[in-house]
């Protein structure tokens, strides 16, 4: 198999070996990839399965015949998962990277622009009243 799909294939195999379908229910990895059991796989394994299928399909896609199949490294997936950034399993840049911000629930709410403008207006009025008293 060409090198563009090797790492994602190895990652899928490792994910399947660690899944409940293989470890607990004692099914083979090939059985776990088929229809009734495929839905019971963890989300990560389902994503890897889809990514591997798209990678294999990309090897024979005539639109990619000049540039070739863009390889995806599993190491990049692991670092993206650990850092919390979004990732895309198959080629290209992630559509969701950096879109979600981590919060702890203690962030102050952003003030409405109308409140800010009202405070400025009140401060100006107060300053005018102070000048009139003098």
pLDDT digits (tens, 9 = 90+) for 11-68: 999 999 999 989 999 999 999 999 888 888 988 999 999 988 888 888 888 877 666 6
Confidence at residue 70, expressed as pLDDT on a 0 to 100 scale: 63
For 40-70, give one letter per residue: b (16+ CB within 10 A) or e: ebeebbbbbbebbebbbebeeeeeeeeeebe
68: Cβ contacts below 8 Å, ≥ 6 apart: 4
Higher pLDDT, 98 or 108: 108
Mean predicted lDDT score pLDDT of the chain: 79
pTM value? 0.51
Confidence at residue 94, expressed as pLDDT on a 0 to 100 scale: 56
Cβ atoms of 72 and 7 closer than 8 Å: yes
Confidence at residue 114, expressed as pLDDT on a 0 to 100 scale: 92
């Amino acid at each position: 198999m060409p090198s563009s799909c090797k790492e994602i294939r190895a990652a899928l195999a490792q994910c399947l070996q660690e899944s409940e379908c293989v470890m607990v229910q004692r099914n083979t990895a090939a059985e776990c990839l088929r229809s009734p059991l495929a839905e019971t796989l963890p989300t990560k394994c389902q994503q890897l399965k889809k990514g591997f299928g798209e990678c294999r399909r990309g090897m024979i896609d005539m639109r990619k015949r000049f540039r070739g199949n863009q390889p995806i490294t599993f190491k990049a997936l692991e670092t993206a998962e650990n850092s919390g950034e979004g990732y895309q399993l198959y080629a290209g840049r992630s559509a969701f990277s950096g879109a979600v911000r981590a919060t702890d629930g203690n962030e102050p709410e952003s003030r409405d622009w109308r409140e800010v403008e009202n405070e400025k207006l009140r401060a100006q009025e107060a300053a005018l009243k102070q000048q009139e008293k003098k």
